[in-house]
Amino acid sequence: MLTVTVSDKGQVVIPVEIRRRLGIIPGCQLDFRLEGHVIHAEVKRQLVQTKAEDGFGMLICNRSGNRRLADFDVALAMREAEDDRP
């Protein structure tokens, strides 16, 4: 269990491990529920409308010549990006 301190404004910092695991980023909303003396916080998921051009530049293929979308293995690219992280 992680312990945090409440500020004078009633604010707390959610530990980074929890934020990463739950995908909490700036702007995310949380729903709070009180049960007895226990506070439950749930990440409020919002559907985000995206356009195809929002993904421009996300996939990189180093092969020369003609390429097709089938040449891109998204899962492999994501694994390689994770492996490159410090």
Is residue 44 within 8 Å of 33, Cβ to Cβ? no
Q: State the Cα–Cα distance between residues 5 and 8, nearest whole angstrom.
A: 10
76 or 46, greater pLDDT? 76
Given phi > 0 = left and psi -120 to 50 = alpha, else beta, which region is 65? left
Mean pLDDT of 59-81: 73
* Domain coordinates in residue numbering, the chain: 53-84
Give, in order, the Cα–Cα distances in Å from 44 to each of 24, 27, 57, 68, 72: 10, 11, 29, 37, 32
Q: State the Cα–Cα distance between residues 34 and 19, nearest whole angstrom.
A: 21
Mean confidence (pLDDT) of the chain: 82
16 or 71, greater pLDDT? 16
Kindly report the pTM of this predicted structure.
0.49
pLDDT in tens, 43-66: 987 656 677 777 777 666 676 777
